[in-house]
């Protein structure tokens, strides 16, 4: 069986700055995996390369057996990414934004029941017709997770999902992620909270 993610000797340079220097590791399917390390260690850079938003200077990454450069379309379809920043078009309402996002992956109305289910499970069902600018920060965070999952990827990557989030919301996000993982989604997250890594992750890697 192939790894969910295989990272082989990845280097990334930004001009004179070497952000990643020979990173290699595998993540097995079904894992709940934590990527830890101090600020500036290169975690977001590695995630951007996995997601195909940035290119490695050298080395290879495959997602579910698909090379992220040669077979980027299949690799990209296999994963959902929740970035650190909250980025939305303020003029769409919640459900239209999610349906539009599903459309980018070629998913039509067959994806709508799943979208409604996620809104229920993330406690956003009563906001389905709200414009994005009418949501609280915590609601936007949960919506970012729903958006990453519209096309039902096998793998979910979250960059500091609970940074600046209150305890109650953090716990409800953890519960949702644990459920997704039990149902078979491989999850990778970066975090600064040791408590979070300890509560959720079966394995971790530390980048320095
Ligand atoms: P982390 O997510 O672990 O905090 P980053 O991946 O954001 O670390 O950053 C790793 C290093 O690469 C930092 O020194 C950062 O300043 C640098 N860096 C990140 N993105 C860029 C970029 N687009 N251009 C130049 N330098 C960058």
pLDDT tens-digit map of 148-182: 999 999 999 999 988 888 888 899 999 999 999 99
- Taking only the tens place, the pLDDT of each residue in 39-77 is 899 999 999 999 999 999 999 999 999 999 999 999 999
Check pLDDT > 80 for residue 116: yes
pTM score, two decimals? Answer: 0.93
User: What is the rounded distance in angstroms from the CA atom of residue 184 to the CA atom of residue 182?
Assistant: 5
User: 85 CB under 6 A from ligand 1?
Assistant: no
pLDDT at 193: 83
17-27, strands of its sheet edge to edge? 17-27, 5-14, 58-63, 66-67
User: 14 CB under 6 A from ligand 1?
Assistant: yes
- The alpha helices in the chain, defined as continuous H runs, are 43-50, 72-77, 94-104, 112-121, 137-149, 167-182, 194-200
| Confidence band of 2 (pLDDT split at 50, 70, 90) | confident
Instruction: Count how many residues are written for the chain.
Output: 208
Check pLDDT > 90 for residue 185: yes
| Confidence band of 9 (pLDDT split at 50, 70, 90) | very high
User: 40 CB under 6 A from ligand 1?
Assistant: yes
The alpha carbon of 159 and the centre of ligand 1 are apart by a number of angstroms equal to 13
């Amino acid at each position: 069986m192939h790894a969910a993610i295989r990272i082989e000797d990845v280097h990334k340079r930004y001009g004179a700055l070497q952000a990643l220097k020979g990173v290699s590791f595998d993540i097995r399917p079904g894992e709940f995996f934590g990527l830890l390390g101090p600020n500036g260690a290169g975690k977001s850079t590695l995630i951007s390369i996995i997601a195909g938003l940035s290119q490695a200077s050298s080395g290879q990454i495959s997602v579910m057996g698909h090379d992220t450069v040669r077979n980027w379309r299949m690799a990209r379809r296999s994963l959902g990414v929740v970035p650190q920043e909250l980025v939305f078009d303020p003029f769409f309402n919640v459900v239209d934004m999610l349906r539009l996002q599903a459309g980018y992956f070629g998913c039509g109305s067959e994806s709508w029941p799943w979208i409604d289910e996620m809104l229920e499970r993330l406690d956003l069902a009563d906001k389905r017709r709200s414009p994005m600018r009418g949501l609280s920060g915590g609601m936007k965070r949960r919506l970012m997770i729903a958006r990453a999952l519209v096309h039902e990827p096998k793998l979910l990557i979250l960059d500091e999902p609970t940074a600046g989030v209150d305890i109650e919301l953090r716990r409800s996000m953890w519960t949702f992620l644990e459920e997704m993982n039990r149902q078979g989604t491989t999850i990778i997250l970066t975090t600064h909270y040791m408590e979070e890594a300890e509560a959720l992750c079966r394995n971790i890697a530390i980048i320095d």
